[in-house]
Structure 1
């Protein structure tokens, strides 16, 4: 394949991967408080604090942990970081497939076997 065709395919695959990340990020932005509650729940349960993230901001209970958000734009950046991280993690099957579909045609048969073995062992470990 000529270089221009490789670059065109790379551009298309990158666009698909980035689009998947953006779509999931936009959806996650609407649910960032729920996602933050889900992530902070184990820590709060371990210290005996029954509240969620939204209630923690209003609570003044001395026995509870509090998320400290200091700065003018910190609440916005927290929401953005949570949404973007969620987008990258949940869209991983799409962008990893796009990466594989771009790289796989250039690999030899034995290199593909090693890659399949890596994915075969790595996927269950990722889920765990």
Structure 2
């Protein structure tokens, strides 16, 4: 019994050492990318501000209300970009840590799910930058009262854009979330089809809550989410395990 306890402690210690090594590698990769992006921080901010600057009247510009904003805002953006770009490396470290404890079928499904989640998040951010932000800023420019100059603080603009990116990136994960729910056995593809009407209402409610207070961004989030819900149903049907697959999944690792 003492030997079993020693073996258990050794196994736990091995896992902790492996976890520490994976965390250090993940943080090191993130910091390395962040340092590499620092010289381009101002260029990154100029690129991020372009959708707004394109819609401002001639001579319009962003302003810096706080003294340190011209330094801190590009620095914050560089770190956020580093996190997004380093996501494949971070997910790989997570995968390398948990993969040895997964069943064969779980490994077969986990990699496509992780890759799909990453691709959908990037797609959501790209959709927000090239489609949503120009439409939102054009709408806001049109409804700006006469005599009011639309001059936004660089920190406020950065926070606004990051929230939009996060909202659209996370919302585009809807098909992956549906597939996971089906794989866990909490819902079935048939139930997802039956609940389509309620899901559409819920999508519009969520879009109204997490997007800026304008109808343009709400519609630009809700309509793609409805399409992604349908895509999630199709993907869930494709990966629903058969009875034979469920028996095989219960086999030893």
**TM-score, length-normalised on structure 1?**
0.75
Deviation of 1:23 (Å): 0.9
Q: Does 1:97 align with 2:100?
A: no
For the Cα contact (< 8 Å) 2:44–2:74, is it kept in 1?
no
- Note the alpha carbon deviations across 1:14-56, whole angstroms, 9 max, x for none: 111101111111111111111111111122223466xxxxxxx
**1:24 and 2:19 equivalent?**
no
8 Å CA contact 2:33–2:86 kept in 1: the answer is: yes
Aligned residues: 114
* Greater relative contact order structure (CA < 8 Å, 6+ sep): 1
Unaligned 5+ segments in structure 2 are 1-9, 124-253
Map 1:3-22 to 2 at 5 A: 3-22=12-31
Larger radius of gyration: 2
TM-aligned CA distance change 1:44 to 1:14, over 3 Å: same
5+ residue gaps, structure 1, are 50-60
Partner secondary structure for residue 64 of structure 2: coil
Q: CA deviation at 1:114?
A: 2.8
Aligned-pair RMSD on alpha carbons? 2.1
- Structure with more helix by fraction: 2
Structure 2-normalised TM-score?
0.41
- Match of 1:74? 69
Q: Cα–Cα, structure 1 residues 123 and 92, in superposed 2: closer, same or farther, change >3 Å?
A: closer
Corresponding residue for residue 107 of structure 1: 102
